Structure 1
Amino acid sequence: MLPTKSHPAGTGAVLVALAALCWGLSGGVAGVLIDGGWEPSVVSFSRGAIGFLFVFAWLLMRPRGSGLGNARLWSWSVLAGLGVAGNFTFYFVSIAQGSVAVAATLMYSAPVFVYLVSFACRLERPTPLKLAAIVLAMVGIILLTQVYKASASGITLLGAGAGLLAGVSYAVFIFGFKYAAPHGSPQAVLSVAFAVVAVLLIWPAGIGRATTVLDTADLQLFVTLGVFGAGLSFALYVIGLRHVAPTVASIVAMVEPVTAALFGVAVLDESLAGPQVFGMVLILSTVTALSLGSSFKRS
């Protein structure tokens, strides 16, 4: 869908930025819950389930033009749901094994994976510039995670791997939501996607452990996580994604790791060493350059 006078590209970019801000804050809230002893699987399921209740209520209030009779909406929305489930799970595992700042930045290596898949499937020709950018991003990841001295980095190999898989999952849900959006309403797309998330994540979370969330002093934090980290944020994202290209959205959404890093330092008493800060800057700069290069090429 091309930008219109009522929904300009600038408005779409603002909506994506607001979604990313919510995601960054929700990563911090998840870090608080995990530090408080909650399993990442329970936190992931709760985020998805509360997000589903939020968007399903929206669908019930505005059912017209849902597109739920369209097979393409279902197939792309299910794919998006698979990506979201993987993203939630791997992201929170990475937080538990390291820090919010590191997990968020690793997740934003997603555009690099998109390029690698494009090369493998011959959808795009590799160039020396693009290959150099991927190498720089990998160097940034090594510096950020400090896997060469795991005892001092505060993140394990499991945490680093989970962060990268969160990035792969992020790329999957970008494509899923982008191709589902034209076939129905945002609330329908999100309802199908988050239903998939809830079904997939209830098994690792366990029904017994998941229901304990309802009778805990942390319930307000879980509700905040679900509403802002799933329901509201993804609603803003899907609506915004209708009016901007995925490459533009990926650039604007980099508000998230910055927000998450600031939250981790300010609230969770986390810290980043000089090489880690340099690695973060290197990753974000490289991914931004890749996305901008793709955007200019297509324009």
Structure 2
Amino acid sequence: MVGASTALVALAAIFWGLSGGIGGILMADGWNPFVVSLYRGAIGLLFVLVWLMLRPHGSGLSRGRLWFWSAIAGIGVAGNFSFYFLSIAHGSVAVAATLMYCAPVFVYLVSFALKLESPTVPKWAAIALVMVGIILLTQIYDIGAGGVTPMGVGAGLLAGLSYAIFIFGFKYAAPHGSPQAILSIAFAVLVMVLILPADVDQAIAVLSSKDWPFFAALGVFGAGLSFVLYIIGLNHTAPAVASIVAMVEPVTASLFGVVILNQYLAGTQILGMVLILVTVTSLSVYTSSAQPPSYLSPR
């Protein structure tokens, strides 16, 4: 059971990694990042609604706190999807995926500010190492190098911050209802939020476009199956193991960008990526060993 659960977490991480590459293909074809994000969330909503109908017990849908915190989670995942694809459009899949992987760092900073976590030397050292990794990865000292723009860097970091908001929303909603209920509300909020910035004409055009299979694959793998598999897998997977396995996501996204999209990373960028991935994973494992809050996992 444990091995199967870990495999589900790994499969979800692979799907998330592939979703970045699929989004990159769609935006290279001229599709608006908000339209891409909208379809990813809308198809994900259909999946979690089916999950909720199949497993309605203990949904907690009558509880106001579930709706409030799930809505916060929805705002977070809407920002995560949108900023992630904006970062890809203005940079590369590898850089965007790695910057988003920094979400646990934002979780710690917010936790420190709200006094939910106690600052320690190892935590501050890890945050400092991640900052160094970000500088190397984005080449912010020579902005524009390697195809990375200020918009790409900013959007990538905001994707990580948005995911941190989703993590907090999900964490505080969890005691009041089931995961499928939380995700149903969150994805519904995502759809409502992204309708405004999305290009309506493009959104309608998707239905008759030759690219619709890519949109379908993005929604199924990037939000539908992936979230369901990840949450089911976490039931029998230790947080430390999940943190390590989650590294599959940025690695998969990076390989997709290099192999399929012909995107290039300089040696210093690869060093920065490795520094971020190793540090964030180690930080998550360290936290899981001390007190197991699975919400601090990169995914």
Q: Is the shorter-chain TM-score for this pair beyond 0.5, marking a shared fold? A: yes
Post-superposition Cα deviations, 1:88-123, rounded to whole Å, max 9, x if no partner, equal 011000000000000000001111112222222233
| 8 Å CA contact 2:21, 2:93 repeated in 1 | yes
1:83 aligns with 2:76: yes
| 8 Å CA contact 1:178, 1:242 repeated in 2 | no
Q: Which moved more, 1:246-255 or 1:51-60?
A: 246-255
The alpha carbon displacement at 1:62 in A equals 4.2
Aligned residue number for residue 59 of structure 1? 52
Matches of residues 218-233 of structure 1 in structure 2 within 5 Å? 218-233=211-226
Residues 12 and 182 of structure 1, relative CA distance in 2, 3 Å threshold: farther
Return the match for 2:233 from 227, 230, 240.
240
| 8 Å CA contact 1:190, 1:235 repeated in 2 | no
Please tell me the residue identity of whatever aligns with 1:227.
Answer: V
Q: CA RMSD in A?
A: 2.0
* Distance of 2:165 and 2:150 partners within structure 1: 23
The alpha carbon displacement at 1:12 in A equals 4.1
Residues 173 and 239 of structure 1, relative CA distance in 2, 3 Å threshold: farther
Post-superposition Cα deviations, 1:201-255, rounded to whole Å, max 9, x if no partner, equal 0110033321111110000100010111011111112323444566654433221
Aligned residue number for residue 266 of structure 1? 259
| 8 Å CA contact 2:31, 2:202 repeated in 1 | no
* Distance of 1:96 and 1:39 partners within structure 2: 9
Return the match for 1:294 from 281, 284, 287.
287
* Distance of 1:79 and 1:242 partners within structure 2: 23
| TM-score w.r.t. length of structure 1 | 0.90
Aligned residue number for residue 177 of structure 2? 184
Q: Give SS of 2:148's match.
A: coil
| 8 Å CA contact 1:181, 1:242 repeated in 2 | no
Following TM superposition, the consecutive aligned residue runs of length 4 or more in structure 1 with deviations greater than 4 angstroms are 242-248
Q: Give SS of 2:119's match.
A: coil
Return the match for 2:13 from 1, 4, 20.
20
The alpha carbon displacement at 1:296 in A equals 2.0
Q: Which moved more, 1:152-161 or 1:118-127?
A: 118-127
* Distance of 1:33 and 1:74 partners within structure 2: 33
Return the match for 2:105 from 100, 112, 119.
112
* Distance of 2:197 and 2:169 partners within structure 1: 23
| 8 Å CA contact 1:104, 1:257 repeated in 2 | yes
Unaligned segments of structure 2, at least 5 residues? 293-299
* Distance of 1:158 and 1:48 partners within structure 2: 23
Please tell me the residue identity of whatever aligns with 2:282.
Answer: A
* Distance of 1:240 and 1:174 partners within structure 2: 17
| 8 Å CA contact 1:147, 1:153 repeated in 2 | no
Aligned residue number for residue 155 of structure 2? 162
* Distance of 2:274 and 2:4 partners within structure 1: 27
Return the match for 1:173 from 153, 160, 166.
166
Residues 93 and 109 of structure 1, relative CA distance in 2, 3 Å threshold: same
* Distance of 1:65 and 1:124 partners within structure 2: 30
Return the match for 2:94 from 88, 101, 117.
101
* Distance of 1:73 and 1:63 partners within structure 2: 15
Aligned residue number for residue 295 of structure 2? none
How many equivalent pairs are there?
292
Please tell me the residue identity of whatever aligns with 1:258.
Answer: V
| 8 Å CA contact 2:239, 2:288 repeated in 1 | no
1:50 aligns with 2:43: yes
* Distance of 2:189 and 2:232 partners within structure 1: 20
Q: Give SS of 2:115's match.
A: coil
Residues 13 and 74 of structure 1, relative CA distance in 2, 3 Å threshold: farther
Unaligned segments of structure 1, at least 5 residues? 1-6
Aligned residue number for residue 4 of structure 1? none
Post-superposition Cα deviations, 1:1-53, rounded to whole Å, max 9, x if no partner, equal xxxxxx65x55433322211110011110000011111111101111111112
